[in-house]
């Protein structure tokens, strides 16, 4: 339930008081947005002070028998010694102060903020006085050599970076608004846990390159009783063929590419919310045969997934595959790396990665076909690249955790956030996804501001 502020700020320029704790938010999403004009965008504002807290190799699988005849480059593990199961950090501060001056945020604060301020929301730029609280979210675009449009970002909300006592218990009062304080952004709640970890995907209309002004957005809440405002399918742009969070096996784009199967994986907690747990013996997710041609690509596509390998037990172990004669993300032969398989008219061809991924950690693995160039990325680092013409059409369905044309290559481990796109995503896009889902450094949470109407 929403909580009354219990305070009237008598100073015309605003006041700072109380204490709060802040935590890092990690985020990964695309769709449409609507504009709603509320308030006076030209008025001055009171903002809370924040405290700063590749190698390549190739191998051939000409008969698809599971025999590895290629080579694999030296292994490198970029995530050794790290974990993504918890927010990257939290900070706690105790302070009480009153000020007659306006404070300005110093930029992204990945460890949250220990201050709270009151804004004169009847005159300051504020989405609507009906919402009693907000936090500024800053996007880390350092090193981005191009801008992104319609990027889907994950916001991980925890008691360290959001005050659940101010919010509706089901999150229905959540609104995510552009920095004009008027334009509502499309978002999808994958999981809501009042007082716990909640996972929300938001479509960012624009992520600027490093040379441009960094972008911000605002999280508004504290309006108990208002109708829910999420528009889940609008988060994902038209280039996504399907997106699978593993809260269930449905397609988040709303296009009906839902998963099914006689022996589905279990759903367990993962670093991005619910994830699939595959036993390596019988479990898989099957996408319907009547939509298989939606995954036949002419020359460009991208497939990405969060993966945790518990064990590699069989050659060419399947991850995300469209049979054995089209395209597939799989274990590279008998190695400890990921592979990217295609058919090149003369037989199956495998591009082998160089980073071992079989140590039980979570990795963001991406395969991209860009014309005749095949690439593998592991945690945003280029892991392999080859020029190889390929045939990307077949009648095989898409499976997760097995291969319809070579059944029995069951995956053993965790899977989450499988995305299949009909375009070649850029290096910057892959970098942003990895920052969002692996490092938790794409989105910084500012201090909470409370509305004094």
CATH of the domain at 366: 2.60.120.200
As a whole number of angstroms, the distance between CA 450 and CA 64 comes to 61
Question: What's the confidence (pLDDT) of residue 357?
Answer: 98
Q: How many domains does the chain have?
A: 2
Backbone angles phi, psi at 101, to 5 degrees: -110, 160
Judgement on whether residues 142 and 219 belong to the same structural domain of the protein: yes
Do 397 and 258 fall within a single domain? yes
Question: Is there a single domain that holds both residue 288 and residue 194?
Answer: no
Query: Are 265 and 398 contained in the same domain?
Result: yes
Q: In three state form, how does the secondary structure of 244-283 look? A: ECCCCCCCCCCCCCCEECCCCCEEEEECCEEEEEEECCCC
Per residue in 351-397, pLDDT tens? 999 999 999 999 999 999 999 999 999 999 999 999 988 777 788 99
Is 116 among the domain residues?
yes
Alpha-carbon gap, residue 103 to 49, rounded angstroms: 6
**Per-residue confidence (pLDDT) for residue 325, from 0 to 100:** 86
**What is the rounded CA–CA span in Å between residue 447 and residue 299?**
46
The answer to whether the beta carbons of residues 241 and 191 sit under 8 Å apart is: no
Tell me whether residue 3 is exposed, middle or buried, using C-beta atoms within 10 angstroms of its C-beta: 0 to 12, 13 to 18, 19 or more: middle
Dihedral of CA atoms 112, 117, 120, 121 in degrees, nearest 10, equals 30
- DSSP state letter for 430: H
Clarify whether residues 33 and 63 are in a common domain: no
Rounded-to-integer distance, Cα 369 and Cα 325, Å: 15
Same domain flag for 158 and 177: yes
- Domain presence at residue 168: yes
pTM, two decimal places: 0.76
d(CA 83, CA 55): 24
* Other residues' Cβ atoms within 10 Å of the Cβ of residue 264: 19
Answer whether residue 10 is part of any domain: no
Asked if 169 and 246 sit in the same domain, the reply is no
Residues 149 and 41 in one domain: yes
Same domain for 411 and 326: yes
Whether 339 is covered by a domain: the verdict is yes
Question: What are the two backbone dihedrals, phi and then psi, of residue 136, each rounded to the nearest 5 degrees?
Answer: -85, 135
Q: Is residue 100 part of a domain?
A: no
324 inside domain: yes
Asked if the structure places residue 93 within a domain, the reply is no
Residue range(s) defining the domain that contains residue 418: 57-83+240-422
pLDDT of residue 28: 36
d(CA 335, CA 333) in angstroms, rounded, equals: 6
Based on the domain organization, do 210 and 307 belong to the same domain?
A: no
Closest to 398 (Cα-Cα) out of 257, 190, 192: 257
Would residue 358 count as lying in a domain? yes
| Low-confidence spans in the chain with pLDDT less than 70 | 1-117, 119-120, 122-123, 346
Q: Do 22 and 168 share a domain, yes or no?
A: yes
All residues at 6 or more sequence positions from 168 whose CB lies less than 8 Å from its CB, including other chains: 1, 2, 174, 221, 223, 224, 225, 226
User: Within 10 Å of residue 40's Cβ, how many Cβ atoms?
Assistant: 12
DSSP secondary structure letters along 64-119: -SS---S--PPP--TTTT---SS-S-EEE-------SS-----S--TT--S-EEEE
Say if residue 221 is in the same domain as residue 200.
yes
């Amino acid at each position: 339930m929403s909580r009354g502020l219990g305070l009237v700020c008598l100073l015309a320029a605003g006041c700072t008081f109380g204490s709060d704790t802040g935590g890092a938010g990690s985020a990964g999403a695309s769709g449409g947005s609507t504009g709603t004009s509320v308030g006076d965008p030209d008025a001055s504002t009171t903002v809370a002070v924040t405290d700063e807290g590749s190698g390549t190799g190739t191998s051939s699988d000409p008969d698809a028998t599971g025999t590895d005849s290629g080579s694999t480059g030296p292994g490198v593990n970029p995530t050794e010694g790290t974990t993504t199961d918890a927010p990257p950090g939290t900070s706690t501060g105790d302070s009480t102060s009153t000020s007659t001056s306006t404070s300005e945020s110093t930029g992204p604060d990945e460890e949250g903020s220990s201050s709270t301020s009151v804004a004169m929301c009847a005159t300051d730029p504020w989405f609507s006085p009906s919402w009693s609280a907000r936090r500024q979210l800053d996007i880390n675009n350092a090193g981005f050599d191009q801008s992104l449009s319609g990027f889907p970002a994950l916001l991980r909300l925890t008691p360290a970076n959001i005050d659940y006592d101010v919010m509706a218990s089901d999150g229905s009062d959540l609104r995510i608004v552009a920095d004009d304080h008027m334009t509502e952004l499309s978002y999808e709640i994958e999981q809501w846990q009042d007082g716990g970890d909640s996972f929300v995907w938001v479509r960012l209309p624009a992520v600027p390159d490093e040379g441009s002004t960094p972008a911000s957005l605002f999280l508004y809440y504290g309006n108990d009783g208002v109708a829910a405002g999420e528009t889940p399918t609008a988060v994902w742009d038209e280039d996504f063929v399907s997106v699978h969070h593993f809260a269930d096996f449905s397609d988040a784009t709303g296009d009906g590419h839902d998963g099914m199967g006689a022996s589905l994986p279990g759903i367990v907690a993962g670093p991005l919310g619910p994830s699939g747990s595959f036993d390596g013996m019988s479990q898989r997710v099957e996408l319907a045969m009547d939509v298989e041609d939606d995954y036949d690509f002419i020359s460009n596509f991208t497939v990405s997934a969060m993966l945790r390998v518990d064990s590699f037990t069989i050659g060419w172990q399947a991850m995300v595959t469209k049979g054995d004669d089209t395209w597939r993300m799989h274990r590279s032969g008998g190695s400890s790396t990921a592979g990217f398989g295609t058919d090149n008219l003369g037989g199956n061809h495998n591009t082998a990665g160089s980073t071992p991924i079989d140590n039980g950690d979570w990795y963001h693995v991406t395969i991209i076909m860009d014309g005749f160039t095949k690439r593998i990325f592991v945690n945003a680092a280029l892991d392999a690249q080859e020029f190889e013409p390929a045939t990307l059409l077949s009648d095989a369905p898409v499976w997760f955790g097995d291969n319809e044309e070579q059944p029995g290559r069951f995956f053993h481990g965790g899977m989450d956030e499988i995305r299949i796109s009909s375009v070649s995503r850029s290096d910057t896009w892959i970098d942003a996804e990895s920052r969002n889902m692996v490092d938790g450094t794409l989105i910084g949470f500012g201090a909470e501001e409370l509305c004094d109407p």
